[in-house]
């Protein structure tokens, strides 16, 4: 990697952009209700002449001058939405129609798993990308610098998805949100990267991990960016497995010929590599000294790691955090999703995300009201510290009153803007390591394998094992003679079927971040026995219901007691 020139210019540029954006946020946060009014008004004004805007009376809403009545009118005319409600409008955009959800056509689509076999195509309008997403991304980089002034004094490693995975029918690009962020970082940041974006085009996961680590371990890396700490765990495992190969490649300026990497990508990587016997000797000495070499050994000057530390990912973070230098700043990645960035974590000392109420409009349903048919809707300025909510977002890319199906907790306030942490997915969606597995994917896969094999079930249920990074599936087959071995084969087919329907699940399984599922046979009438126990504990019979995919250790323990002896 070439030595970065004009480092002071990089820092100055980031500081200028970051301070401007933080100043705007600080000013807006002093009057949360006013900031939300202006934000929603501008979103409606941007899209009032679209198909959706006309259908849902955006112009009428905007004519209401009383702030409380304005919010009330918006709730009256625009229903709560999930992706499937908006899919028909998005499909029209994908096929070339303009002015459906927002002005013009989409700048790009971020793809992620949905509740059906069809993935979600999250549209990014030009306005949303330029005025919200990109500005928050640049401020996010500035905060890394603010929290560690020497973070850009050395190279950085990013571990993200592919920025471009294909094109919509109208030619608009689609890809991963993280890859898009990496692709569109300011040009002055590019020389700091140890590898080109082409590494994310390597299909084989082991080869991709190897390449990213080979490029990073050749340098005194200062900055690591990867949303999921389970990825860091897999990278560390990869480093231990192939450490001698890394030494050889670093010494000779090569990349192992044993890896399945397209020649075009190898050619691009070659521009970033040169023989480095001195670094190879350093790595060789580390192995001789420590045996098992950790990141804190080969990256002793690592300054900042941006990764998730909240929700289920905390388990993986706790496993790897001591592998890095003690003075390395561990920055929470912030609460974000394919649907966008919703704010920023301002300091490594506080993992809470400040919701940017001047850039997006937020509504919330309280945790205890999530299952209600007519839940009370709270606005951003009405949230209470210590309470948990499901966020509903409205933004300038066509997502109107869109439920995130997330559970967040308010931990404090920045002036009047709430600070929140992510707790978990809700409504039958499980995400151990980012797979976002919906109960519907699981049920549909089981039903398909029943039809395929003729092995029908009386009952089945799946549980997430966060510690093990896998799922446990429990079956009660109609044929009581079905063996554990046959049931394991059934699970393997279910696993393969889910991978077909859920791109996030397939990605995590292929990269080994999500391990093989486990299989258990249940005793006869297991569900009836479970239900009876629950009613004995106080559940009302008429209100008893059970999701078939859960992250619930108390219920999981109860089913462990019902395994066939």
Q: Kindly report the three-state secondary structure assignment for every residue of 290-328.
A: HCCCCHHHHCCCCCEEEECCCCCHHHHHHHHHHHCCCCC
pLDDT at 1: 45
pLDDT in tens, 136-162: 988 999 999 999 999 999 999 988 878
Closest CA to 123 of 96, 150, 140, 102: 102
Query: Phi and psi for 260 in degrees, rounded to 5?
Result: -85, 90
- Residue 204 is predicted with a pLDDT of 85
Residue 377, CA distances (Å) to 62, 179, 362, 382, 385 in order? 20, 34, 10, 10, 17
pLDDT at 164 over 80: yes
What single DSSP character describes residue 152?
Answer: G
Beta strands in 311-374 (DSSP E): 329-332, 336-337, 340-341, 343-344, 353-355, 361-366
Beta bridge partners of 470: 465
Question: pLDDT-based confidence at 116, cuts 50/70/90?
Answer: low
Contact (Cβ atoms closer than 8 angstroms) between residue 491 and residue 535: no
Model pLDDT for residues 244-256, shown as the tens digit of each residue:
999 999 999 999 9
Residues near 561 by beta carbon (within 8 Å), at least 6 away in sequence: none
Looking at the predicted structure, is the pLDDT value of residue 236 above 60?
yes
User: In Å, what is the CA distance from 83 to each residue of 88, 132, 150, 332, 499?
Assistant: 9, 21, 42, 27, 20
Residue 518 backbone phi and psi in degrees, to 5: -105, 155
CB 344 within 8 A of CB 139: yes
* Separation between Cα atoms, residue 272 and residue 2, nearest integer Å: 8
The set of residues, in sequence order, having a beta carbon less than 8 Å from that of 319 and lying 6+ positions away, is 229, 233
Q: Are 176 and 165 in contact (CB under 8 A)?
A: yes
Q: How far apart are CA 262 and CA 60, in angstroms?
A: 56
b/e code 116-153 from CB counts within 10 Å (16+ = b): beebbbbbbbbbbbeebbbbbbbbbbbbbbbbbeebbb
The helix/strand/coil state of 496 is helix
Q: Across the chain, what does the average pLDDT equal?
A: 90
Helix (H) or strand (E) holding 463: strand 457-465
pLDDT at 82 over 70: yes
What is the distance, to the nearest Å, from the Cα of residue 363 to the centroid of all Cα atoms in its chain? Answer: 21
- How high is the pLDDT of residue 281? 97
The DSSP line for 386-436 is: T-EEEEEEE-TTS--SEE--EEEEEEEEETTEEEEEEEEE-TTEE-SSS--
Contact 554, 537 (CB under 8 A): no
96-106 mean pLDDT: 97
Please give the Cα distance from 6 to 386 (Å, whole number): 46
How many helices and strands (H and E) does the chain possess? 21, 24
Q: Is 15 helix (H, G, I), strand (E, B) or coil?
A: helix
Question: Three-class SS of residue 222?
Answer: coil
> Given a cut of 90, is residue 52 above it in pLDDT?
yes
Binned at pLDDT 50, 70 and 90, residue 6 comes out as low
The pLDDT of residue 543 is 42
- Give SS3 for 235: helix
Q: What is the pLDDT of residues 63-80, one digit of tens each?
A: 999 999 999 999 999 999
Which of 312-321, 446-455, 528-537 is predicted least confidently? Answer: 528-537
Q: Which of 179-183, 313-317, 358-362 has the highest mean pLDDT?
A: 358-362
CB 339 within 8 A of CB 402: yes
pLDDT at 2: 44
Backbone dihedral angles phi then psi of residue 37, each to the nearest 5 degrees:
-60, -50
Give me the pLDDT at residue 161, please: 79
pLDDT of residue 542: 40
d(CA 145, CA 13): 11
Q: What is the pLDDT of residues 468-508, one digit of tens each?
A: 999 999 999 999 999 999 999 999 999 999 999 898 899 89
CB atoms within 10 A of CB 350: 15
pLDDT of residue 208 exceeding 80: yes
- pLDDT at residue 541, as a whole number: 42
* Residues 260-302 pLDDT 10s: 999 999 999 999 999 999 999 999 999 999 999 999 999 999 9
Give residue 535's pLDDT band: very low, low, confident or very high (50, 70, 90).
low
Per-residue pLDDT, 114: 67
Residue 451: what pLDDT? 94
What are 210-220's pLDDT values in tens digits?
Answer: 999 999 999 99
Residue 155 and residue 441: Cα distance in Å, rounded? 41
* Cα distance from N-terminal residue to C-terminal residue, the chain: 60
Question: Which CA distances in Å does 210 have to 204, 206, 307, 522?
Answer: 10, 6, 20, 41
Nearest in space to 175 (alpha carbons), one of 186, 162, 188: 162
Residue 309 and residue 152 in contact, taking contact as beta carbons nearer than 8 Å: no
| pLDDT, tens digit (0-9, with 9 covering 90-100), for 359-405 | 999 999 999 898 788 999 999 999 999 999 999 999 999 999 999 98
Dihedral (Cα; 75, 334, 103, 172), 10-degree rounding: -130
d(CA 150, CA 372) in angstroms, rounded, equals 50
Percent of the chain topping pLDDT 90: 66
């Amino acid at each position: 990697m070439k030595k970065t020139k004009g480092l002071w210019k990089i820092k100055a540029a980031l500081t200028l952009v970051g301070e401007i954006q933080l100043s705007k946020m600080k000013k807006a946060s002093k009057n949360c209700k006013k900031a939300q009014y202006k934000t929603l008004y501008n979103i409606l004004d941007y899209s009032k002449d679209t198909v959706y805007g006309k259908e849902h009376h955006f112009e009428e809403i905007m004519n209401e001058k009383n702030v409380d009545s304005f919010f009330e009118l918006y709730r009256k005319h625009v229903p709560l939405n999930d992706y499937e409600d908006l899919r028909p409008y998005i499909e029209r955009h994908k096929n070339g129609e303009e002015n459906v959800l927002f002005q013009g056509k989409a700048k790009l689509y971020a793809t992620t798993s949905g509740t059906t076999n069809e993935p979600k195509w999250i549209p990014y309008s030009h306005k949303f990308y330029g005025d919200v997403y990109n500005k928050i991304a640049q401020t996010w980089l500035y905060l890394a610098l603010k929290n560690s002034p020497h973070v850009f004094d050395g190279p950085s490693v990013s571990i993200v998805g592919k920025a471009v995975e294909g094109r919509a029918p109208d030619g608009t690009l689609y890809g991963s949100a993280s890859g898009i962020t990496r692709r569109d970082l300011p040009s002055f940041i590019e020389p700091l990267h140890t590898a080109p974006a082409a590494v994310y085009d390597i299909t084989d996961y082991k080869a991709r991990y190897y390449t990213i680590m080979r490029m990073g371990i050749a340098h005194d890396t200062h900055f690591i960016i990867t949303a999921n700490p389970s990825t860091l765990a897999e990278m560390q495992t990869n480093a231990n497995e192939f450490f001698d190969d890394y030494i050889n490649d670093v010494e000779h300026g090569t990349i192992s010929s044993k890896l399945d990497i397209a020649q075009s990508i190898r050619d691009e990587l070659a521009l970033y590599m040169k023989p480095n016997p001195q670094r190879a000797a350093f790595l060789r000495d580390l192995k001789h000294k420590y045996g098992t070499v950790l990141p804190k050994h080969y990256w002793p000057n690592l300054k900042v790691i941006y990764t998730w530390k909240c929700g289920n990912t905390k388990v993986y973070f706790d496993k790897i955090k001591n592998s890095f230098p003690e003075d390395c700043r561990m920055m929470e990645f912030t609460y974000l999703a394919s649907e966008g960035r919703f704010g920023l974590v301002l300091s490594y000392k506080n993992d809470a995300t400040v919701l940017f109420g001047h850039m997006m409009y937020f509504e919330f349903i309280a945790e205890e009201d999530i299952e209600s048919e007519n839940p009370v809707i709270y606005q951003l300025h009405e949230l209470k510290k210590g309470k948990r909510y499901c966020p509903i977002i409205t933004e300038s890319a066509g997502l109107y009153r869109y439920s995130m199906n997330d559970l967040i907790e308010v931990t404090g306030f920045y002036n009047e803007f709430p600070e929140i942490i992510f707790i978990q997915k809700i409504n039958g969606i499980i995400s151990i390591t980012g797979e976002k597995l919906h109960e519907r994917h699981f049920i549909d896969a089981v039903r398909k394998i029943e039809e395929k094999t003729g092995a029908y079930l009386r009952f089945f249920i799946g549980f997430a094992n966060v510690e093990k990074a896998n799922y446990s599936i429990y079956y009660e087959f109609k044929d009581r003679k079905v063996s554990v071995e046959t049931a394991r084969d059934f699970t393997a087919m279910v696993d393969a079927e889910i991978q077909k329907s859920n791109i996030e699940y397939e990605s995590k399984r292929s990269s080994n971040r999500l391990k093989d599922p486990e299989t258990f046979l249940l005793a006869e009438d297991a569900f009836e026995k479970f239900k009876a126990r629950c009613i004995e504990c106080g559940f009302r019979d008429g209100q008893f219901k059970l999701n078939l995919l859960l992250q619930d250790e108390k219920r999981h323990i109860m089913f462990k007691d019902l395994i066939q002896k």
